[in-house]
Structure 1
Amino acid sequence: MKKLLVLLSILLISLLAACGSDDHVIKIGATSTPHAEVLEKAKPILEEEGITIEIEEYSDYNLLNLDLDEGTIDANYFQHIPFFEKDINDPKKGYDLVNLGGVHIEPMGVYSKNITSVDNIPEGTEVIISRNDPDHYRILQLFEAQGLIKIADDADTAYPSQEDIVENPLNLQFLFGEVNAEFLIEAYNNEADALVAINTNYAIEAELSPLEDALFIEGEESDYVNIIVARAEDKDNEDLKKVVEVLQSEEIQNFIIDNYNGAVVPVGGNN
C-alpha cells in the first residue's frame, strides 16, 4: 500500500510539473526574414534556460500588433520604433503595448531593374514606396542623403507628401502608399524603369543582396530599430525579459553579423 501511495505521489508531482511547464512557453509572432530566423537561432539557448518559444510567421505587418493586443500571441518581433509608436498612438486601435528592447536595424534600400547608378537616374523617374506610412519620411531622408532632393524644414514627418520636397532637380515622382510592402518585389520586377524602396526583409526573401544590388542604402545610424513588443501587462514578465536578453546577447548579435553580411545590423540592446 505504501509503495502504491509513493508511486501515486510521484505521478502527481510529475503531472503538476508538466502542467507548470506551460508557463514557460512563449508564442512570438514574427515576419520570416530575418526575424523568424533570428528567433530560431535563439531557440536552443532559451531552452537551456527553461523557456520554449513557438514562432508564428506572418506576412502581413498589420496583423501582428492586433493579434498581440488580442492575446493570440505573447510578443512580436517585426516592427521598427516609428511603426510601433504610430500604431500605439492610433486612438482607433487602442493598443496597450510596450517596447521591451531593440535587436537590429534593417537598412532600407532603393533598387531598380534598369537604372544602374545614382548618376544615371532619368528625369521624372517614379519612386515606388509602400503603404507603410512610418517609412515615408525615412525614404525621403534616404534620397536627401544622396543629394537627390531637399526636404522642407517644416515637412510633415508623419505623413509626408510630394509637397514636402522643396528641391527636386530630377523631378522624381514619389508614389506614396500605392503598394503593400509585401508586393514591393513584384513592383521591382514589373516596373523596370522605376526606383523601388524595399524593406531589407523582403529584399532578402527575394534573393536580392541589399549591399550589392541596391543603388543606395541606409547607413547604420538609422533610428529604425526593430524591437520586441509585448502587452503592457507583461512588461515585467521574466521569461520575456530573458528572450530579449538572449536576442541582445553576443552570440545572437554575432549570428546577425555573420549571417546577413551587413544587410541586417545588430544594435546590442542600445535601443
Structure 2
Amino acid sequence: MPILVHQFACLSDNYGFLAHDPVSGETACIDTPDADAYLREAAGRGWTITQIWNTHWHPDHAGGNLAIKAATGCTIVAPASEGERIAGIDRALVPGDTVMLGDVSADVIDVAGHTLGHIAFHLASEGIAFVGDSLFALGCGRMFEGTPAMMWAGLERLKVLPDKTVIYCAHEYTAANARFALSVDPDNPALRDFAAEVAAKRKNDQWTVPTRLDRERAANPFLRADDPVMQARMGFAGDTVATFAAIRRAKDNF
C-alpha cells in the first residue's frame, strides 16, 4: 500500500505534512511548525505519530518538536550539523543516510543553502520528496546561511530526481513566486501557463502545493540557471552559479 500524505495549512503560510504508512501504522511529521495542529490532524485520522523528520532548524520547521514528542513519545530525526539548534533529536542524519517509515525508505539529500545543514527526504518508491524551504513551486528558499554555489548544488540534487516526483514544499508562496518568475523569464510558455493556473487557484483559495518536478524544471527560473536563455537574460553567459546568484538577488529585491 502506498504512503498516505496528509497536508494541512498552519501558521500564516506554512503547510504541515503527515506521512502515514498504512501497513505498519507508522506516521511521520515532516517538520513541526505547529504542534497543536499536527496532534489534532493526526488524531482526526486515527494516526499515531511515531516519528518527526526535520529538514532544518528554523522555528517554523522544528518549533513543535518537544511538544509532539512529549505527547507521543515519537523519535526525532534531523540534520546532524544543525543538532545544537534542533530540540529533542534522537538520530542525527547526514546526507546519504536512509530513514524508514515502516518498510518504506527515504533518502536524505543535502540541499544546504537556506541553512547550512538543510536536508530533503526523497521516498523513491513513492515518487515523492519533502524539500522544506530549499525548493518552492516556482521559487527557492532565501540563502540565509549558504552561498550561491552551495544552494545551486542542492537544487541540482533535486533537479535530477525522476520527472514525475511530487514535491512537497513548506509554504504557500507560489503566487508571489510566479510574479517574480515572469519578470525574469517572460517569454517562457511553460511558465506563463503555470502562472495562469496558479492565479486561478489562488483566486479560488486553492493550494498550489504540492508541485511536480518536471513542471518546475520547465518553469522555475531558479532551476533554469544552467539554461543558456536564462544565463543570457541575467548577463552571465556560460556561468550557472553567477546566473543563479543574480536570479536570487533579483528575487530578494523584487
Fold conserved between structures, TM > 0.5: no
- Larger helix fraction of residues: 1
The TM tier, using the shorter chain, reads under 0.3
Kindly name which structure, 1 or 2, has the bigger radius of gyration based on alpha carbons.
Answer: 1
Task: Using CA pairs under 8 Å that are at least 6 residues apart, name the structure with larger relative contact order, 1 or 2.
Answer: 1
User: What is the TM-score with the length of structure 2 in the denominator?
Assistant: 0.28
